[in-house]
Amino acid sequence: MARRRKGYREDQKVRHNVFDDFTNRTIYKLITEGYIEGLESPLFIGKESNVFTARHKDATRVIVKIYRLESCDFNRMFDYIKADPRYHSLKKRRRNTIFAWVQREYRNLMIAREHGVAVPLPIAFMNNVLVLECIESNGHVASKLKIAIPLDPLDFYEKTLLNMKKLHKAGLVHGDLSAFNILNRDESPILIDFSQATEYESERGEEYLVRDVRNVCTFFRGLGVDADEEKAKKAILSVKKKGT
């Protein structure tokens, strides 16, 4: 009887999710290198990406975000990324764009954490797959702010605004911040989904900041908070960016 190679079960588990062969090989390599021990429960299944929980080698829970190579709207991704000064040399090719998109989220999360922004710890990225810290609340994966309404909306808003200030100090703007991209961890905000984040000094940086402020203030006004957009924007811009 032939012996099954090491990692056979994990490999079969990955392939059962019916990803393309390239993605399967990427996930399996992350398994063999010890970043994850197979995929667990799906948190989100979308047209462009799938998000799973998994276990790290130290038994902690992590998040695995997998971008679908054939169904990603890489044209939309490229429209975002081409305005980022860090990616001016990127060529408009599907895989290159998707891989850069994943790398950029990892890179943005690292910069944000270095400046004290409450974001998940990025653990590893490879091709179209990103592994990052799983944010938990009361033993479960933390819910999005849109679902987990804070007990004290004003306090939560002020904490969110503080994180936006810190992000501006880091020289970044999220670009898609809303109640769908903020987690409620034990009544404190955790900002997520940083693949579209870019440098504030980029061509559309101010436009993205205005949109982030509008989304956040609109949501909290709906909870009875006096969240004034102009005041919030002024407070964020009053913070000196890195290198200034």
- State the catalytic residues: 176, 193
Cβ(173)–Cβ(78) below 8 Å: no
Residue 22 near residue 69 (C-beta atoms within 8 A)? yes
| Alpha-carbon span 45 to 66, nearest angstrom | 10
DSSP the chain: -PPPPTTHHHHHHHHTT---HHHHHHHHHHHHTTS-SSEEEEEEE-SSEEEEEEE-TTS-EEEEEEE-TTTS-HHHHHHHHTTSGGGTT----HHHHHHHHHHHHHHHHHHHHHTT---PPEEEEETTEEEEEPPEETTEEPEETTTS--SSHHHHHHHHHHHHHHHHHTTEE-SS-STTSEEEETTEEEE---TT-EETTSTTHHHHHHHHHHHHHHHHHTTT----HHHHHHHHHTSPPTT-
